[in-house]
Amino acid sequence: MTVLPSSQADAFGMRWRVRLNASHDEATAFATLCHELGHVLCGHVGADPKGYWPDRRRVRTEIAEMEAEAVAFLLCNRSEVITRSAEYLHSLIHRCDCSHVDFYAIHNAVQLLEGTTLDEAIRKAAQAAKKGGARVSA
């Protein structure tokens, strides 16, 4: 992934570019794209200008790798795309202090990539609970 200077942002204000290896099979290319987008949406390359994710550029490299790969693993697994993501995650577990992994960032990234933000999910759950007579707080 390449992070571009803000002067090279595209028409949508995006400042990064992901390049995929053309020799990879579709599953590997999808997993790679999910991993790189995981870095973006976990804030590893900066904050979203609209506030969808914070700036987390100071996260240690091994933690960032763990978070991005967790995003890729969840997206691939839920899409029934078979990859070697679980093996990579397993190797990362032995290299990082998982107490610093931000599960909210992983969840938020997966929700954004699947089309629903965490706030929307909470709001939908609260509305569903109200209809059912239950009370939900977040």
Nearer to Zn ion, 15 or 38 (CB): 38
Report the sign of the C-alpha dihedral through residues 6, 7, 9, 12, in that order: positive
Q: Which two tokens stand for residue 109?
A: 């990234």
Residues 49-68 that bind Zn ion (CB under 5 A): 65, 68
The nearer residue to Zn ion, 51 or 102, going by C-beta atoms, is 102
Closest separation in Å from C-beta 116 to Zn ion: 24
Alpha helix segments (H runs only) across 49-84 = 61-78
Report, in Å, the least distance between residue 39 CB and Zn ion.
6
Give the separation between CA 131 and CA 121, rounded to whole angstroms.
15
In the bound complex, which residue of the shown chain has the CB atom lying closest to Zn ion? 68
